[in-house]
């Protein structure tokens, strides 16, 4: 079933995306954050959340728009770097399917804005390959990571993804390392100036000190539906990642290294989500980005697709239980 979908044309895949969007609209969102529970947002993330609270009618349309921007932007990045076929929307379809396992609009929008920034960073990093002077791309990548970490502080870990890419692409000039540090520091420097201008510097320092202490691996309690969905998605991701990584040996060096970058993205996203503590379930969309690339690749290249079909049916059932019974 999924292998057949991977071989279909763009019109069929677009029809699947539209069907998933209808399902996204008509079924209720899962309530991962209960009333009174704190979502661990950095100051910029709190500002976005508060703005959506002021205009609750806009929260859902904004989240859907951001969802589509993430889905099609990532699909375009994969096509641009020759990781997925040009006439394919399968990664977008898989991403939207996984996004059925998400929380409500007010909580979803800050995560999707962070995800969009990280996608820009991912594109900038992959575009460094073969460039003699990748200074602009390094600066763009680090600026995007820094701004994303102003929404969810654990995303500062994505700086490690950039530094790993230096070794992957054999970028070893000292200027590149200095620019990467400057790109991370600059947004926080201007944020400190903004706090200072408004006589809130002490408040800002205390806010980030609190965010630092909130970094932990204390996972939230999961009910049966949540655990089942996460376990199935996790198992499916591992099966797909093994196929994705094993196929890198048959690709051109440029494509192979960019596929490694996507796997690095997945690992850093996993670490960031785990460090977010009780906000873990809300931040799952960050993992869905690289996982959708791995799953779509596995669908298209798997010799026997029955395993993926079986996992898909079970995962779909688990996700819909979370949406219907919340």
- The yes-or-no verdict on residue 207 having pLDDT over 70 is yes
- The yes-or-no verdict on residue 260 having pLDDT over 90 is yes
Compute how many other C-beta atoms are within 10 angstroms of the C-beta atom of residue 85.
Answer: 15
Distance, in Å, from the CA atom of 322 to the CA atom of 326, rounded to the nearest integer, reads: 6
The pLDDT score that the predictor gives to residue 283 is 87
pLDDT tens digits along 15-61: 888 998 888 887 777 666 544 455 678 888 888 888 888 887 787 88
Q: Which residues pair with 216 in a beta bridge?
A: 276
Quick check: 254 and 130 in contact, CB under 8 A?
yes
Mean pLDDT over 270-275 rounds to 89
Minimal CA–CA distance to 106: which of 152, 39, 154, 158?
39
Distance, in Å, from the CA atom of 189 to the CA atom of 176, rounded to the nearest integer, reads: 20
* pLDDT band per the 50, 70, 90 thresholds, residue 161: very high
Q: 265: burial class by Cβ within 10 Å (0-12, 13-18, 19+)?
A: buried
Pick from 115-119, 143-147, 301-305: least confident? 301-305
Mean pLDDT over 267-272 rounds to 93
Is the four-CA dihedral 25, 314, 298, 294 of positive or negative sign? positive
Distances (CA, A) of 36 to 32, 103, 105: 12, 15, 17
Percent of the chain with pLDDT strictly greater than 70: 94
- Give the chain's mean pLDDT: 86
């Amino acid at each position: 079933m999924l292998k057949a979908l991977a071989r279909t044309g763009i019109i069929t895949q677009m029809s699947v995306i539209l069907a998933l969007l209808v399902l996204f609209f008509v079924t209720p969102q899962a309530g991962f954050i209960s009333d009174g529970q704190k979502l661990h947002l950095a100051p910029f993330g709190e500002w976005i959340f508060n703005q959506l609270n002021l205009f609750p009618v806009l929260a859902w349309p904004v989240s859907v728009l951001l969802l589509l921007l993430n889905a099609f932007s990532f699909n375009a990045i994969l096509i641009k770097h020759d990781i997925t076929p040009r006439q394919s929307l399968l990664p977008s379809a898989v991403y939207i399917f996984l996004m059925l396992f998400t929380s409500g609009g007010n909580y979803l929008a800050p995560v999707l804005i962070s995800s969009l920034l990280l996608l820009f960073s991912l594109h900038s990093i992959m575009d460094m390959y073969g460039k003699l002077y990748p200074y602009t791309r390094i600066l763009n990548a680090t600026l995007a990571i820094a701004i994303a970490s102003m929404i969810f502080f654990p995303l500062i870990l994505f700086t490690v993804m950039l530094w790993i890419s230096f070794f992957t692409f054999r970028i070893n000039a000292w200027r590149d390392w200095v620019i990467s540090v400057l790109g991370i520091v600059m947004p926080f420097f201007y944020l400190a100036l903004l706090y200072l201008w408004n006589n809130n510097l002490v408040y800002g320092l205390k806010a980030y000190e609190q965010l630092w202490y909130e970094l932990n691996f204390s996972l939230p309690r999961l009910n049966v539906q949540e655990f089942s969905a996460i376990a199935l998605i996790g198992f499916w991701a591992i099966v797909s990642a093994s196929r994705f990584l094993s196929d890198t040996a048959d690709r051109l060096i440029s494509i192979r290294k960019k596929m490694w970058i996507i796997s690095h993205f997945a690992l850093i996203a996993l670490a960031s989500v785990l460090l977010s503590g009780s906000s873990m379930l809300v931040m799952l969309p960050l993992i869905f980005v690289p996982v959708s690339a791995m799953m779509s690749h596995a669908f298209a290249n798997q010799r026997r697709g029955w395993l993926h079909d079986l996992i898909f049916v079970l995962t779909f059932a688990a996700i819909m239980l979370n949406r219907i019974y919340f």
